[in-house]
Structure 1
Amino acid sequence: MRRIKKEAIEKKLKELAKDYRIFAPMNGDVKETGGEFEECFPRLSGKCAFLPPEEEILRYKDGKVEETPEDKPIILFGIRPCDARAISLIELAMRDEKFPDVYFLRKKEKGIIISIACKEPGDTCFCTSFGHGPFSTQGSDALLVEKDDYYLVLGNEKFFKLFGEGEEAREEDKEYFEEAKKRAEEKIEKIPIDNLGENLLSRIEDPIWEKISRKCLNCGACTFLCPTCYCFDIQDLERSWGVSRRRYWDSCMFSIYTKEASGHNPRPTHRERVRR
């Protein structure tokens, strides 16, 4: 464990904005900034840094296919450990052996994720029920724990190469870390997940789905906010210079999502889509 002055990290983050795209919590959302950030619980998870709501993946111009030029590498700073873990779960799907998503993986491999520990988790949090926690390092290149005017840092080589190593954490820092971690974990109520898969399967025809679906607009907001949803659609848009192939976030809440070429839709109503 190391300790680095907050001021040093904040200064370095702004300097890195010249060569990196910085995404960080700001005004309640995770967005691209010039290195500024707020320590908060943003509404968005941070997946937008590596899987944007809209992105061009290639062009067809003058009879030739051109891949979109690579952008600057990404620093995703200040998200919570649960959201960092969620991005690593998306990565599992994107690393499919037969069909790897090169656009996501290229950004992820060149990028860096820096999370801030949850010393005061929300009353709706349940990360400890799934083998995770408010001080977990899973999915992060570095975990920062705020203490006075500096951060305690658990990080890898990628992080320290950019931000410096600071100094060795003191014994009192290590004690503070363990005490803060214990307090945070004790605030999180565990939910029963034993036999969760079997229980859900046994309730496929439960009337509860109809009741829940009456409140649903099928707007897709739940999947856009969800940190592990990654479905997308591909569209070719005609431009004056040629064709731009782009991908956009999609949602299983949309009626057209599962509509087949024959016209058949296996999930024709709100009920089936909410149940999914």
Structure 2
Amino acid sequence: MRRLPCVLAMLLPLFVTSAHAGRSEQAHLASQACVALTFDDGPETTLTPRLLDILAGEHVHATFFVVGKRLTYSPGLVRRAFQGEHEIGNHTFDHRALTSLTDDEIVAEIELTDEAVMTETGQRPDVIRPPWGLVDARVERVLRRAGLWRRQAFWNFDSFDWLDDERYITSLIVSGAPPGAVILMHDIHASTVAAIPTIIRTLKLRGFRFATLANLSSCTHGLPTDLASQTGSSRSFGASDPSVPFDILHPLGSIHQLEFYLTHHFGS
């Protein structure tokens, strides 16, 4: 087997201790084998409806982090997802890094998307997933001052689906996703949507259940996922506490997948 590139070999030891601790906590929390499928950057006029059809046929609920401006040319899709009991999260209006914006621009990115989602669903999203996971103390301060701060929802398993490789996405997820995984995908890639049926059916055969991000904690503790609002536990693994502006899990969680990707492409 070819060795991984030297740079990766040098970087991996820096993350081993923290990543191991994160996986240990994850294993402890996940008394049931549950995962959350999350999809960013949509809705997309052709692919999102196809994905919603697949999820409905498999009786699986997912979380969609939507880009506000896309709702203007994909009318009705977020409403359909919401009515199908999928969770809707705020992924900003223009998909710009919040940390690079002015205070007013930060507010507009979140506020405009909230308004677009509320027009479709009647409800403000409970969670925000900042583009590229970039958020800092200034962003938190600005959003708190505007009354817009809420849970920042990250991920701990990156599918690398932007590579547009259906076989790789499927192999990575079905062989590597651990119980409690918050899986990052995008419903703007045809290869991702094409991979979803096999991913879902294979994980089901392995004994996995599926939950929205809000219901993942209930799922992992063996509760029906529709009881999340009654249990008071909506904090899911991979989503940060509102009082903490950073979540170290999302970069650390990609190390294993990056190793898998490089091995997959460089051969063994």
TM over 0.5: no
Q: TM-score range by the shorter chain?
A: under 0.3
- Bigger relative CO (Cα 8 Å, ≥ 6 apart): 2
Normalized per residue, the structure richer in strand is: 1
Greater share of helix residues, 1 or 2?
Answer: 2
TM-score w.r.t. the length of structure 1 is: 0.27
Larger Cα Rg: Structure 1 or Structure 2? Answer: 1
TM-score scaled to structure 2, two decimals? 0.27
